[in-house]
Chain A
Amino acid sequence: MNENYCTVDSVEALEETLKKVRKAQEEFSKFSQEKVDSIFKAAAIASNNARIYLAKMAVEETGMGILEDKVIKNHYASEYIYNKYRNKKTCGIIEEDKAYGIKKIAEPIGIIAAVIPTTNPTSTAIFKTLLSLKTRNGIIISPHPRAKKSTIEASKIVLEAAVKAGAPENIISWIDVPSLELTNHLMQSVDLILATGGPGMVKSAYSSGKPAIGVGAGNVPALVDDSADITLAVNSIIHSKTFDNGMICASEQSVIIIDKVYDEVKSEFEKRGCYFLNDEEIDKVRKTIIINGGLNAKIVGQKAYTIAKLAEVEVPENTKILIGEVEHVDFSEEFAHEKLSPILAMYKANSFDDAMSKAHQLVMNGGIGHTSSLYINTLTGSEKIEKFYNKMKTCRVLINTPSSQGGIGDLYNFRLTPSLTLGCGSWGGNSVSENVGVDHLLNIKTVAERRENMLWLRVPEKVYIKRHCLPVALEDLKDKKRAFIVTDKFLFENGYTKVIIEKLEELQIEHTIFSNIAPDPNLACAKEGAELMKAFEPDCIIAVGGGSAMDAGKIMWVLYEHPEVDFLDMAMRFMDIRKRVYDFPKMGEKAYFVAVPTSAGTGSEVTPFAVITDEQTGVKYPLADYELLPKMAIVDSDMMMNAPKGLTSASGIDALVHSIEAYVSMMSTEFTDSMALEAIKIIFEYLPRAYDKGAEDPEAREKMAHAATLAGMAFANAFLGICHSMGHKLGAYHHLPHGITVSLVLNEVMKYNSEDAPTKMGTFPQYEYPNTLRRYAEIAECLGIEGKDDNEKLEKLLVRIDELKDSIGIKHTIKDYGISEKDFLNTLDVMSEQAFDDQCTGANPRYPLIEEIKEIYKKAYYGK
């Protein structure tokens, strides 16, 4: 080790040193945790061994403080800091979660500039150099001119031990002749500043343009409640206030005592060797400690006796603290300032609130953000404690603790981080509000691997299928007591509920029927039904009908179980159903929901969706949440046998669009894919038959019933796309049946989605690249369509879809349905914007621009 360090006394010399430290740090940054830990340990041992030597030197050089207390500080800075961080990971990977694909990597910051004060010239140096070694940083110390010898000696001891243990030479360095110019130059040249010093110093640190951790001044009030253990309180305060002659910034500056115990507190202070100044003496001391509002540097860290002598006040030589009983808490009162010496202000308060407001004012005067202290019976005083910590603008609130030793942590509370640099938060103009430690001296890299979202397959717990299954399935309700049937007038009057009622009677289940459901069910109707439910108190709801009746049933169910809900909140759009803002209410606590479809299309019996219209505003509320999933679906094609042709075609084509959209959705999975493809195959084969022959072809009816439910399960989990976004708005503005509207935009949307280089693709981790053309081709392949490439397969698929539409009487263009061009164009902008914002847009594989939606609408209107 080179004993002759070069002297840093000029900007040029500092530049040289910066280069050396930079080089050393570059090497150090490659060290392993193991090596760093052994260096950290060696350095901590060396500084620990030098604790008395350094304390002596500091007292001699600065003429401040108490040797034995400085020994404790050095001991603490070595041992407690080592102990706190001995096992802490600070190099390389410090945290890893393979399942989530996330890794945290600790890297050094580079070179730290450390400004060291005169009050703790050796312990702060030990503290900061040890932290920087543990974090693989280089550090350059800027000592105070009044304490430079001891600060530099402490740094040197740490450096030499570190180098001996294998650290690069020059990893720690210092300024030999400190000046404002050199300190500022240093601060502007490093990577981080750890500034402990006066407000001027901290401000220069923050204005240097480099990240800085500066800490502010304290003006700690200690409030003594009348419930406090007075002996413990007074002796703790004395112990803390006399520590190193009051030079710790967390040391008490004033005591505020509830009047009831004032005399008791006072006599305890007297008994333990504190001196109460009389009025005349108070005035003399005031003039001595504060000069023009500033603290007289001559009294800092001096004994009470010495300060009294300066003030020409005679006190016993072994006086511990000079106490001034004063009234004012504002700055005009000299005792209200931070005094950095064994001088204490004492206030009498007439209540806890009065005491708190005095403490608050003292903190605001000169110690905002730092520390406050309360002595109280913690068993009976929890309310007061809460009041106190809410009121104090301090980053540390200490209870029954000597604040000097308590504030620095790990001595009177073992979860408070040990530190000699105490952050004061934004209140104190600092960037940190906690006790500064190694975490503040590291850059943490986060390595995040791409992960796919968890997906799911959620279906009703019971899905019963096959023709004639209804009465058999209803057997499951045998434990229910009261059933509420929701259906529409037509179905009711035509006996569709008869088989259900008979079964309920057989099972001796009380029942009632609400049959006032109109197509496009509205809130008024749902509320009416819910009122009846409230009166009837069913434990089972059976919704029988098409989409309208099943959706209305779901809404009544919600209103019955949760009358407080707000539809606007429930209908709030979400990007990811797991992350939605609105917490959907828990369903099924009052009634078991059974859905019995009477048409093959909506799939509502197995989906978590429902749409309801507010008849007063015309607003449609599309609700989506798995809470809305029916508990039981009974798919019995007997219920669909006599459906009219129009209903068969509109609901059948709706089921086709459900399947196609679910298949190309970004959220599709193998589970939904298989259901969607199977549904598509069935629909192409059986929909024309069901349409043509109706009740005469029960096989086609049954196939279509199952296809619609399969499609429902697929899109209940994979969701839909912009056919539905656009169809919803087309229906809302031009009053066409839902199935028709989605089929009118289907072909154009497929062409749009199949683009290999879309303007924007959808955002979802599972969706890797625009692949929708291939997905459509897969649909074509399952239908047996052949072609030379995917484009040709898509074209042929589109032809097959048109042929299917032809065979079931569905027209090709919006215009064909008699919508006038004028009406259409008048609503085009608003439909496009609303379609863009529709909940179904989120799962579409191509993220549409509003302008693009408009183009699709136009093509769908004119047929190209």
Chain B
Amino acid sequence: MEYKLANQIAKRKTKQVFRDRDSTIKLFVKKYSKAAILNEALNLARVEEGTDLNIPKLKEVTMIDDRWGLVIEYIEGYSLAELMDDNPDKIDEYLELFVKIQLEIFSKKVPLLNKIKDKYNRKITETDLIDEDVKYNLLHKLDGLKNRSKLCHGDFMPSNVIITDSGKYYIIDWAHVTRGNESADAAKTYLTLKLNKKDDLAEKYMNLFCKKTDISKKDIQDWIPIVAAAEITKGDKSEYKFLSQWINVADYE
């Protein structure tokens, strides 16, 4: 199918996102890994077929002007992030919904997805951006953390939850989905909120999450140096100073 790439709705270092009628077209930069793109499509398909979650459907994997692209159903509505910004008085209500949706995702099983510990191990092992002795501590710490098999969105943020006019919600952007320990997913959400300077929301989120799940703050905090390290591997220099403080955590005797 032919798409009009006139309406760009987002632009990142690795991709541009366009909307054409009821489709979202994610168009990756030329050198981007083919395997990574196909993997993202495969993960999306697995979640779509393996769960009854409300998620936009994958429509097509395509090539436009020598660039790989994923065509995904476009969901009309407002994101929870927008709603939170527009209605600060209702922020608790939205946060409540946000956590509820995250727990609903955890309740699903998609056995063929990659394991979250493998993913973090790989990212930390491969990077040059972390000192060897810190890396050694982090990898040992990660090795000792509990393996579980919850569906983890991997970038669960208010901006990735869309509420339609009819009040139905959709969870979008499944590029980082894995299965594993839900504390890791919560740590990732917490960290990203902090990186986005949403400190108050981050703390509120952490408290609400712990309350709803009976997971201790410490369990989530155990993952923070790991998710912070994975974040460093992306190579964003503006975040490096902040993140490097978070990864250098002693863990002995």
Contact = CB atoms under 8 A, between A and B. Distances in A.
Given A146-B133, A178-B136, A198-B251, A291 B245 contact: yes
Given A292-B246, A294-B224, A199 B251 contact: yes
A809 interface: no
A218 B253 contact: yes
Nearest to B132: A145
A335 to B, nearest CB: 16
B150 to A, nearest CB: 20
Given A184-B143, A204-B143, A340 B250 contact: yes
A840 interface: no
A319 B142 CA distance: 36
B217 interface: yes
Contact of A298 (B136, B248, B251): B248
B64 interface: no
A200 interface: yes
B82 to A, nearest CB: 29
Interface string B220-253: 0110110000000000000000000110111111
A197 B140 contact: yes
B253 A200 contact: no
B141 interface: yes
Given A294-B225, A331-B218, A119 B249 contact: no
Interface in A194-248: 196-204, 215-218
B131 to A, nearest CB: 8
A215 B253 CA distance: 7
A197 B253 CA distance: 5
Q: Is the interface of B mostly helix, strand, loop or mixed?
A: helix
B215 interface: no
Given A217-B252, A340-B252, A198 B140 contact: yes
A61 to B, nearest CB: 10
B144 interface: yes
B144 A291 contact: no
Contact of B144 (A178, A202, A293, A294): A202
A117 to B, nearest CB: 5
A59 B146 CA distance: 34
Contact of B142 (A200, A217, A218, A296): A200
B84 interface: no
Interface residues of A, number: 36
A144 B250 contact: no
Given A145-B136, A178-B136, A300 B250 contact: yes
B5 interface: no
Interface in A658-677: none
A218 B134 CA distance: 22
A201 B132 contact: no
A377 interface: no
A201 B250 contact: no
B132 A292 contact: no
B220 to A, nearest CB: 8
A203 B253 contact: no
Nearest to B140: A200
Given A217-B253, A297-B134, A199 B225 contact: no
B133 A292 contact: no
Interface in A110-140: 117-119
B137 interface: yes
B38 interface: no
Contact of A293 (B132, B142, B218): B218
B253 A196 contact: yes
A290 to B, nearest CB: 9
Contacts of A180: 121, 125, 136, 139-140, 143
B252 A197 contact: yes
A198 B137 CA distance: 8
Contacts of B143: 180, 184, 200, 203-204
Nearest to B143: A204
27 contacts: A117-B253, A119-B252, A146-B136, A180-B121, A180-B140, A197-B140, A198-B141, A198-B144, A199-B141, A199-B144, A199-B251, A200-B143, A201-B140, A203-B143, A203-B144, A204-B143, A249-B252, A291-B245, A292-B221, A292-B249, A293-B217, A293-B218, A294-B249, A296-B248, A297-B134, A297-B137, A297-B248
Chain A to chain B: the 4 pairs with minimum beta-carbon distance, closest first? A200-B144, A294-B249, A293-B221, A198-B251
Interface of B: 121, 125, 132-137, 139-145, 217-218, 221-222, 224-225, 245-246, 248-253
Interface of A: 117-119, 144-146, 178-180, 183-184, 196-204, 215-218, 249, 291-298, 300, 331, 340
Given A118-B252, A203-B143, 6 more contacts: A145-B133, A178-B136, A179-B136, A196-B253, A198-B252, A297-B134
